[in-house]
Chains A and B, each alone.
Chain A
Amino acid sequence: MSDAESPSEFDPVAPNTGEEFEPVDVFPDSDDFDLRPGADSCYKCSTCDTNCPVAEVDDDFPGPKFQGPEQWRLKQSDDDHDVDDSVMDCSNCMRCDNACPSGVPLSQMHNTARGEYVSEQMDKLSVEYVRNRILANYRTSAFFASKVPRLANAAMNFGPARWLMEKTLGVTSERDFPEFATQTFREWWADRGGQAQSRENARAARERRGLPADADKKVAYFHGCYSNYNTPEVGKAMVRVYEAFGYEVVAPKQKCSGTPMFANGMLDDARRHAETNVSSMADLVEEGYHAIASCTSCSMALRQEYPELFDIDGIDEVAENTFEAVEYLRIHEDLREEVREAEVDGDLAEEFAYHAPCHSRNQGLDRQAVELFRDLDGVDVEDVGDSCSGISGTYGWKEEKYEKSMAIGEEMFEHMDHAAGETGMTECPTCAMQMEHGSGYEIRHPLELLEAALVE
């Protein structure tokens, strides 16, 4: 297509009909998805393809336009059309979803196709299936490991065991498993006195700030698996920062957000976890709480993937009332001003190499940390570019994907290397693993920096 040949070639021949396609409302009352109407709003501009990190390095991957609208169109003409197995190579980074000018629900299409592929076409006895299922159910392994964290840390990274895991399960031995904390976030939270203590802290902070003691400031923390089992310091930072602003925090019952399950097409597993999460969050939302997540994939799951894929009571209300932790404070507090007046010294007075997780993009949060901390004295946060880290949750743990995952990450590693600092920063725990793996840097979460700046 060239604008030089004839203008009408790239102009719509007739004005857009204006019929908005609402991805979330495609068949709200059914689990039997039909995404064909979404496929029809694709006008083949290929913008999605220019955003796909996998298509950029993988010659076997046909790209998002094929995975999404083209595949769904094929299904339109042929109901028995099998889902192409390449859908398992999509890393579910959702970049294509964020790109499409026409609002085609690409990631919903990929997730649904992957679910169909796994349930109908994949051999349930295959090593790949078993491996994917284990990886996707990280929470279960983490739950057991956290009971004996020191032993688990030693065992999980024990050379011969890892060799065996690679050979029998296809889990790459190139990576170190994340360390399990000796005290989980929830253990800390309970020891500290749970909600009652938080209420007290929030009251004290309100008094300091001259706010009414009964101000309606309460949030429900969705900590996710990772800040519970592996990086409780992120969860603690969330609690302390929110309390300092006068918010009372609760930590409701919760399971895995489902992110690793979507990516592996394990929609039944994901639904079971989603049901627990939605039911406990929906009750709180009804009482006036907002749901806050510190992991951008968790907030993405609650906000977008749940309502796109499941029909559970209260799911839309939960989606509407879920926010990422820093985002929420940007909306409800004068965070910019507080940060501008603050200063950081001590061990977080660093130059950070910041990577924006892919899942922060659809939520419009990819520049949040860099812009917020621009005005903070004592630190420097440098963006290491808009490439994908390449790990995409469980993707980079698979033996056959490891090389591609590192090839995708190469650009980020290079930029980290060029950045002034030698400490990394990101909101996503798996991006953090990849950053650490490729650079050797220690990786921190923006909430930890916020805590250092605002909480004495």
Chain B
Amino acid sequence: MAIESEVLVVGGGLAGLTGALAAAREGADVRLVSYKQSTLRQASGLVDVLGYTPDGAGPLTDPFEAIPSLPDAHPYRKVGVHTVREALSLFDEAVPTYEGGHTDANALLPTHGGTVKPTARYPAGASAGLASDARDTLLVGIEEMVDFDAPHVAAHLDAAGVPFDVRGETIRFPGDLRADAKVTRYAKLLDTDSEVAVRGRMVPAREALAQRVNPLLEDEERVGFPAILGDDNPGEIRAELSDRLGVDVFEVPMGPPSLPGLRLEDALFSALDEAGASIETGNPVVDFEGEDRIERVFIEKNGAKIPNSADQYVLATGGFVGKGVESDREGVYEPVFDCHVPHASDRYDWFEGDLFGDHEFARYGVATDDDLRPLDASEHSEFENLRAAGSVLGGYDFAAEKSGSGVSIATGYAAGQRAAQEAR
């Protein structure tokens, strides 16, 4: 026996979650299996579709307009711009706390590094912070959180030429948090609105935070905090702070570990649960059986190999960071199904000497046909019932193009939907 489903998705990052969701919405019996937590907890939580062209032109105003001119090997070209739009509609519906769907144009968001970044979808919590909005802005940093130095960020934004005045102030977070308190600690305090000691008096955390910021506010019309404003109830916390400060409040997306990424992960998992899919995380898929078709895969649990079988499979195990693509001295490979990964045979061609150069390996990943089926070295599909999605795919450099989440959502959607249709 084996644990059975119609569609089995391997990998629980943005691509796998979207793929499973799309397949479940098609009515298939879907199972998602994932090893550990995905890169979503490290990503900013922003959904970029395309910020720059592969030649570095940009920032792009309209990512959809640019898609048809991308190289043939690019995953967006495989699925087509129409599918990219459909995939984003599914995302918008599944994650109603995100904004940006009202327009094709990229939004410009201030980052915690003080730059402005083009992105297609952003959490509602970031929306009052748009750089295209001309309202003057106060950024508030937390002394203990060294990766958001508000005055420094403000100076950078100013130098970048944002159309508003921006100032940064640093406060101590109310209550005696340890210097390296986790983002989840701040979030928990604000979620539960627990009391903290302020000059010998116990005050609810949200009120205490507003009290610290109030005297710093001059005539700015909005205040930005690092993204620590709650995990479970961010909307409620922003509303209360905004009320107490009398101005709009927003969050600036942060580097890893990222609360917006964590919230997005939760939202997608619950959408998937509602769609009736089954989800198992904690153990890797290590092996499979089958020649032209994958018959079943094996999940390894402490030495035991648990068989899982399905009609159709989706490979969404991530790139170098997610461990969906690996390399050793011999070359670059895809570890689960051993799909072919085209790469230069000479290791020295993988990267440029320059750290920030155009590294070839950044585009390494499996190559597919237009149906997202991985291709072997002679360009035949590896397995008739396997499709690949997300950063396990080659042909694009998500970091340089700012297309990471968009490619994962678009290809995840396409792979999941087609798998479900074929499983019928």
Contact = CB atoms under 8 A, between A and B. Distances in A.
B113 A4 contact: yes
Contacts of A374: 276
B280 to A, nearest CB: 4
Task: State the main secondary structure of chain A at its contact with B.
Answer: loop
B301 interface: yes
A3 B259 CA distance: 15
A319 interface: yes
A59 B303 contact: no
A304 B302 contact: yes
A57 B192 CA distance: 11
A427 to B, nearest CB: 15
B47 to A, nearest CB: 12
Contact of A334 (B1, B176, B322): B1
B3 A1 contact: no
Interface stretch (B38-46, B133-141, B414-422): B38-46
A125 interface: no
Contact of B302 (A63, A98, A303): A303
Contacts of B279: 367, 371
Contacts of A18: 326-328
Interface residues of B, number: 72
Contact of A2 (B41, B44, B183, B328): B44
Most A CB atoms within 10 A — which of B262, B281, B302? B302
A300 to B, nearest CB: 9
A321 B176 CA distance: 48
B37 A47 contact: yes
Contacts of A304: 302
A14 B347 CA distance: 10
Contacts of A197: none
A123 interface: no
A350 interface: no
B260 to A, nearest CB: 12
Contacts of B185: 55-57, 59
A380 interface: no
B68 interface: no
A319 B36 contact: no
Contacts of B181: 55, 59
A10 interface: yes
Interface in B354-369: 355-356, 359, 361-362, 364
A183 interface: no
Interface string B27-66: 0000001001111011110000000000000000000000
B159 interface: no
A217 to B, nearest CB: 12
Nearest to A368: B280
Contacts of B180: 62-63, 66
Given A15-B332, A101-B323, A332 B1 contact: yes
Contacts of B201: none
Interface in B278-302: 278-283, 299, 301-302
Contact of A331 (B1, B112, B255, B399): B1
A316 B303 contact: yes
**Interface magnitude class on chain A:** 35 or more
B320 A2 contact: no
Contacts of B176: 59
A12 interface: yes
Interface stretch (A152-160, A358-366, A389-397): A358-366
A13 B320 CA distance: 11
B146 interface: no
Interface string A19-53: 10000100000000000000000000111011110
Contacts of B328: 17-19
Interface string A369-404: 001001000000001000000000000000000000
Contact of B177 (A59, A100, A331): A59
Contacts of B351: 13-14
B302 A333 contact: no
B206 interface: no
B38 A101 contact: yes
A98 B282 contact: yes
Contacts of B321: 10-12, 101
B170 interface: no
Given A98-B282, A367-B280, A49 B399 contact: no
A49 B282 contact: no
A103 interface: yes
Contacts of B302: 24, 303-304, 307, 319-320, 322
B255 A2 contact: yes
A364 B281 contact: yes
Most A CB atoms within 10 A — which of B115, B175, B188, B299? B188
Given A2-B255, A7-B399, A99-B36, 11 more contacts: A4-B113, A5-B113, A15-B327, A24-B302, A47-B42, A98-B36, A101-B321, A303-B304, A363-B283, A364-B280, A371-B278
Interface of A: 1-8, 10-19, 24, 45-47, 49-52, 55-57, 59-60, 62-63, 66, 98-101, 103, 303-304, 307, 316, 319-323, 330-334, 361-367, 371, 374, 383, 410-411
Which 10 residue pairs of A and B lie closest in terms of their CB atoms, listed nearest first? Answer: A7-B399, A320-B303, A1-B255, A364-B282, A4-B111, A18-B328, A15-B327, A2-B113, A46-B257, A303-B302
23 contacts: A1-B147, A8-B356, A11-B399, A13-B351, A13-B355, A18-B327, A47-B36, A47-B42, A49-B182, A59-B178, A66-B180, A101-B36, A101-B37, A101-B38, A101-B321, A101-B322, A303-B302, A303-B304, A320-B304, A322-B302, A322-B304, A364-B281, A366-B282
